[in-house]
Amino acid sequence: MVEDEVLVRLDIVQSLDEAGFAVIEAASAEEAIALLDAGHDVDVLFSDVRLGAGLDGFALARHLRRSHPRVAIVMTSGTAALPNDLDDGRLAFLTKPYRVEAVLSHLAAAVARS
């Protein structure tokens, strides 16, 4: 779960935890990459597109496709549209504001596909 706004991260991590997911949280794309590179076993990455000063979510998705291609990806944004190079049916995109049920459904589907 990658989200740079701490209160948003707090809410969604709690919801995912209550839904039975084992959640690893990251405050930035760089933190997410560090966790994955350290060998943490991740099935699906759920990330906001806007992630503060560093890499954005799309750059993170491109990085993961090269470095960790088995990790399914679900992205979310209230403003950005999915770029053409990532719009190949393998990346789920969720428009904000979202309902938690929609997040859970997308994550479960992504895990099933991975």
Partner 1 sequence: MTAETVLVIDAEVLVRHEIAEYLRGCGYRVIEASDTDEAMTVIEHSGLVLDVVLCDAQAVGTVNAFALVREVRERAPDLEVVLAGNVEKAAKAAGTLCDEGPHLARPYDPVLVLDRIRRRLAARDRARDEG
CA distance 94 to 82: 10
Answer yes or no: are the C-beta atoms of 1 and 12 closer than 8 Å.
yes
What are the tokens at 36? 């994955």
Q: How far is the CB of 13 from partner 1 (least distance, A)?
A: 9
Which of 26, 49 has the CB closer to partner 1?
26
Stretch that binds partner 1, among 6-14, 41-49, 53-61, 86-94 (CB under 8 A): 6-14
10 binds partner 1 (CB under 8 A): yes
Collapsed DSSP state (helix, strand, coil) of residue 102: helix
> For the chain, how many residues are written?
114
What are the tokens at 10? 């707090």
Q: Total residues at the site for partner 1 (CB under 8 A)?
A: 13
Neighbour-count burial of 37, counting CB atoms closer than 10 A to its CB (0-12 exposed, 13-18 middle, 19+ buried):
exposed
Q: How far is the CB of 101 from partner 1 (least distance, A)?
A: 23
Per-residue binding letters, 19-58, with partner 1 (x by CB under 8 A)? -----xxxxx--x--xx--x-x------------------
- Which residues sit at the interface with partner 1, rule CB under 8 A? 6-7, 10, 24-28, 31, 34-35, 38, 40
